[in-house]
Amino acid sequence: MAATPQNHLIELLPRRDRAVLLALCQPVVLKLSDVLTERGQAVRHVWFPVDAFVSLVAQIDQHPGLEVGMVGREGMLGASLALGVQVVPLRAVVQGGGSAWRLGAGPFKAELVRSAALRQVLGRYLYVRMAQLAASAACLRFHQIGPRLARWLLMSQDRAHAQHFHVTHEFLAYMLGVRRVGVTVAAGALQRRGLIRYHRGELTVLDRPGLEDASCPCYGIDQRSYADHMA
């Protein structure tokens, strides 16, 4: 684990605070489709993804759920503890398997009390997270499937740190809250433009700048928000 790239929130901490936090953490491997949290449950652990990434899914009534956010190396799961809230607000499903740091809720809360730097970093991160969730709600309401799909693929590529990753039409439909046929049409349009290659669940980004042009503005807004507050 020591040789792997680090979680960005942990990297932002001063050296001593970073060393103390990592000494408390346990390296774990997150597997595709693992459910890390369920809405309404108590927070038992926090996770700092390294090369894994996780979908945050809102659930209403009996509907299957809708992705409203994504967490990778840039963030963490369980940050609500920094607000004194110990109940999970969203379902968290591993979208891309890989490594992460895990820490029990109790030791994490104790470290929050001890480390002013950790509290400051998480305060900024929670602000960015709230801004991104608000932007996601507007995106779902006003933007068409094609630009939303392009945005989702860019977000996934950022967190997968690779041009190639596995994703099915069924999963995309679930994440975007649309019918499978809508995803098929939108993905086909991106493929005909030479922006992606997609075959039997294996997706490759062929033209990153072109995919950015095809995306709705929300992708760039999210990127700027994070850069402005988490640099």
DSSP 3-state assignment of 21? helix
- Output DSSP code: residue 66: E
CA 100, CA 107: separation in Å to the nearest integer? 17
The answer to which of 31-35, 132-136, 171-175, 216-220 has the lowest mean pLDDT is 171-175
67: nearest Cα among 12, 140, 142, 158: 140
CA 89, CA 43: separation in Å to the nearest integer? 10
In percent, how much of the chain has pLDDT > 90?
A: 77
pLDDT at 3: 43
45-49 β-sheet, strand order: 26-30, 98-104, 45-49
Please tell me the pTM assigned to this model: 0.91
CA 230, CA 21: separation in Å to the nearest integer? 19
DSSP 3-state assignment of 97? coil
DSSP 3-state assignment of 214? helix
Q: What is the pLDDT of residues 162-198, one digit of tens each?
A: 898 888 888 888 888 888 899 999 999 999 999 999 9
Rounded-to-10 torsion of CA 174, 157, 103, 131 = -70
Whether pLDDT at 119 is above 90: yes
Whether pLDDT at 98 is above 80: yes
∠ CA 163-47-226, rounded to 5°: 60
CA 137, CA 122: separation in Å to the nearest integer? 22
169: nearest Cα among 182, 155, 159: 182
What domains can you pick out in the chain, each with its CATH number? Answer: 8-131 (2.60.120.10), 144-215 (1.10.10.10)
Q: Give the DSSP H or E segment for 176.
A: helix 169-176
DSSP 3-state assignment of 120? helix
